[in-house]
Amino acid sequence: MDSDALDNPDLYINRELSLLEFHRRVLAQARDETLPLLERLRFLCISSSVLDEFFEIRVAGLKQQEAYGAVQRGPDNLSPSEQLRRIAPKARALIDEQYRVLNEELLPTLDREGIHFINKADWSPAQRKWIKRYFNHELAPIMSPIGLDPAHPFPDPLNKSLAFIVNLKGKDAFGRNSGKAIVQAPRALPRVVRLPESCADGPNDFVLLSSIIDAHMDELFPGMQATGVYQFRVTRNSDLFVDEEEVDDLLRALEGELPSRRYGEAVRLEVAQDCPEELEAFLTAQFHLSREDVYRCSGPVNLMRLATVPDLVERPDLKYPGFLPGVPDRVRRANDMFEAIAAGDVLLHHPFESFAPFLEFLRQAAKDPGVLSIRQTLYRTGAHSAVVEALTEAASNGKEVMVVIELRARFDEAANIELANHLQGAGAQVVYGVVGHKTHAKMCMVIRREGRALKRYVHLGTGNYHTSTARLYTDYGLFTCDPAMGNDVQKVFAQLTAMGRAGRLKKLLQSPFTLHKSMLEYIDAEADNARNNKPARVAAKMNSLIDRSVIEALYRASQAGVAIDLIVRGICALRPGVPGVSENIRVRSVVGRFLEHTRVFYFENGGKPRVYLSSADWMGRNFFNRVEVCFPIENEDLKKRVVLESIDNYMQDNCQAWRLDEDGTYRTASGSPTKRRSAQLSLLAMLSDKA
C-alpha cells in the first residue's frame, strides 16, 4: 500500500475516544468480583479521578480549540467540534455506569461486609445527636452560606469543590429572600466521617459530609426553611499557560499562574440526580455552559470522596495481600552499591523489586568521601521524600549537587516549586531544564574518585524518582558504570544545565534529537529484514501510541510481514487487524493492581536483538517537545530478562489483558479458566520475596 493510502482517516483511532476506552477498562476493575472488595472501590475512585482530569485537560483543550476556530486536525480528521460531539455520549455512559456499579454492586456488598454508609433517613437518635454536635463544632463555624441577591452575587466555586444550591422559603431579619442560596463545603474537612463507637453499630459505620450538611441546612439560614438542597460540582480548565519566551523566571511565573487553575473556565457541571431543571438551568447559565455539559449523578457528585475508605477500614481480607519487594542477590551480598554496580549492570523491575537500592545508592553517595558530584533529574518526587533528603545531605556534606527540576509536571507544579526552594536552601544548584521542552528524562549520575581516576555511576529509569509510585507503578531502573553510557549522560546533563552542543551520543537515544528518527529507522529495518526472509519482529510496551509517522512505519512493517506485538496501557491510535494494512499487528492493554508504566522497545534486528528502555512514549510530545532518554540493555542475560518479563509475560496474560479490535473497542483476552495467567502476579512470584 502506498503512502497516500495510509492517509485514510479510518486507519487511525481518535486519541480522546481511545482514552475514554482506557477509562472504561479501569472501571471494569471495579466490577471484577475476583478482586478484593476494597480494591474494587479504589478502582471506582480512580476511574472517577482520571475522568476528572480528562475533562480538565482534554475536553477543556478541545473547547478552547473550538472557540478559537482551530482548523488543524489529527490523522483521524475529526474537528474539535466533532470530537466533543462523540465524547459526550461516551462520557455520559461511563459516568452512568460508575454510579450503577456503586449503587448496585459495591455498596450492597460493602454493607454485607459490615462497612456501612448510613443515609440520613436511617440515622438512629444517638447518631443524630452526635452528628448534630459534629456539625455545630466542626462545620458551622467555618461555613459561609451565601444568599443570592444584588449585594451577594453568585460565588465562583473552586475547581471540583463540593457545593450546594438551596431553595429557600421565608425572609431573613432584613426581609430579604431571593429564593436561592449557595453553600460551599469546607475543603479542609474529610468527606467521609466515621461514627464513634458510642453511637455506631459496628467499627466501620460512616456518614458522608454532604449528608451532614444537607441534614442541617436550615440551621445555616435561621428563621428560613430550606425546601430543596442539591449537590453540584463544577470542573474547570486546569491547564496552565506560561509563555516561556516572555518570562525571566519560570518558577515565579508558574507561582503566579497556579491560582488560575482553581478558577479556570468551566467545562463540566455535575448535579444531583434530583436537581430540578430550573436550578440546573440557573447553574449552567452562571457557568456559561450548555445543557450538553451537564452530568446528573445518582450519588455523591464526587466519587473520589470515597477514596479514603480503604485506608480507614482495617480489613486485610478485603485488600490485596502484602508482599516484600525483592532485591537482586548481587546487591544484597555487596558491601556497598558502588561495588555491586562495578561488578556489572544491575536491573531493577519495580514494584516487584525494591526501590530501596536506589535510595541506598544516593545515601552512600552523600556520605562517601570519594564522591565529588551528584546530578539528577526530578519530575515528580515530593519535597520531603527520601530522595530529597539524600540530595540535601550530599549538598550539606560539600558535594556538588546539581538538580534539574521540571516545574511544569502537570498537577505537581506547586510541589515542585516547594522542592526547588528547599534544595536551593540546602546548597544544591537547581535549574529548570530547557525553555520550550519539559525535562522528562529520568537520570542520576554520581562522579566518584577511585584512585587517580574519576568514575561515573549512572542510574537510568522509565519512571519517576518517587518512593510512593515505585510501590504502585511498574518501572525499570538500570544501574551501570559503562564509560560510554556515563559519558552520554554527562553530555545530556550539560545540555540541560548549560548551553552549547553536546555532540553525538554513542549509546543513548535522546528526544528531541535522535529518538524519533531512530525508532523509525529500527522499524523500517525490520520491514527490510522481513522482505529479505531474515528474522523480523517488533515488540513494544508503553503508555500511549499516537505519533502518526511511527504508526505509518508499523503499518508498512506489517505489510512487509513483520510480526508486531504492542502492549499499550492507555491511548492507542493505531488500528490493528485491518486487511492489507495491519493484520500482522496485535495490540493489548493490561490493567491490574499496579499501573503499567514501563516503556520497552524490542527489535529482532536479524537475530541480534536490540532492546531499549525509555522514559518516552511513542507520542509527538515525547519525541519533539520533551527531553527524554532511551537507553539500551546490552547485557545478554538482562535483554532476555526484559523480553521475558515485559513482552512475553504480558502477551500471555489472560486475566487482566484486553485485546484491541479493528473497530477500536477492547475485549477481554480471556483464556482457559484452568490455565489462568496474570502477568503482574507472575512477576510477583518471580521477583518479590515471599508474599
**Residue 422 known to be catalytic:** no
Average pLDDT score over residue span 255-277:
76
- Predicted local distance difference test score (pLDDT) of residue 153: 79
Give helix 60-67 / helix 80-100 axis angle, nearest 10°.
150
β-partners of residue 587 are 566
* Residue spans per domain, the chain: 10-318, 329-505, 511-687
Q: Nearest Cα to 156, choosing from 266, 52, 239?
A: 266
Taking only the tens place, the pLDDT of each residue in 439-492 is 999 999 999 999 999 999 999 999 989 888 899 999 999 999 999 999 999 999
Matching CATH number, 10-318, of 2.40.160.40, 3.30.1840.10, 3.30.230.10, 3.40.50.1110: 3.30.1840.10
Matching CATH number, 329-505, of 3.40.50.300, 3.30.530.20, 3.30.870.10, 1.10.645.10: 3.30.870.10
In this structure, are residues 669 and 586 in contact, taking their beta carbons and an 8 Å threshold?
Answer: no
Angle at 296 between CA 294 and CA 297, to 5 degrees: 140
Report the run of H or E that residue 167 belongs to, with start and end.
strand 163-169
Taking only the tens place, the pLDDT of each residue in 59-69 is 999 998 888 88
Q: Provide, for the chain, the percentages of residues in helix, strand and coil under a 3-state DSSP scheme, each rounded to the nearest 5.
A: 40, 20, 35
Comparing 78-92, 343-357, 677-691, the range with the smallest average pLDDT is 677-691
pLDDT-above-70 percentage for the chain:
91
Separation between Cα atoms, residue 561 and residue 507, nearest integer Å: 29
Average pLDDT score over residue span 290-294:
95
The residue count for the chain: 691
Angle at 443 between CA 600 and CA 633, to 5 degrees: 35
pLDDT reading at 259 higher than 60: no
- Predicted local distance difference test score (pLDDT) of residue 528: 98
Q: Which CATH superfamily is domain 511-687 in?
A: Endonuclease Chain A (3.30.870.10)
Q: How confident is the model at residue 335 (pLDDT cuts 50, 70, 90)?
A: confident
β-partners of residue 269 are 234, 294
Separation between Cα atoms, residue 535 and residue 537, nearest integer Å: 7
Does 10-318 match 329-505 in CATH topology? no
Compute how many other C-beta atoms are within 10 angstroms of the C-beta atom of residue 47.
26
Return all residues near 11 (Cβ < 8 A) that are at least 6 apart.
75, 551, 555, 575, 578, 581, 582
The alpha helices in 631-678, defined as continuous H runs, are 636-643, 649-651
pTM: 0.92
Taking only the tens place, the pLDDT of each residue in 492-540 is 999 988 866 667 899 999 999 999 999 999 999 999 999 999 999 999 9
Three cell numbers written together for 364: 552512600
Catalytic residue among 116, 216, 350, 440: 440
In this structure, are residues 265 and 239 in contact, taking their beta carbons and an 8 Å threshold?
Answer: no
- SS3 label, residue 200: coil
Separation between Cα atoms, residue 114 and residue 135, nearest integer Å: 25
Three cell numbers written together for 119: 443515609
Comparing 42-56, 235-249, 347-361, 491-505, the range with the smallest average pLDDT is 235-249
**Dihedral in degrees, nearest 10, Cα atoms 228, 159, 464, 417:** -140
User: What's the mean per-residue pLDDT of the chain?
Assistant: 90
Average pLDDT score over residue span 535-547:
97
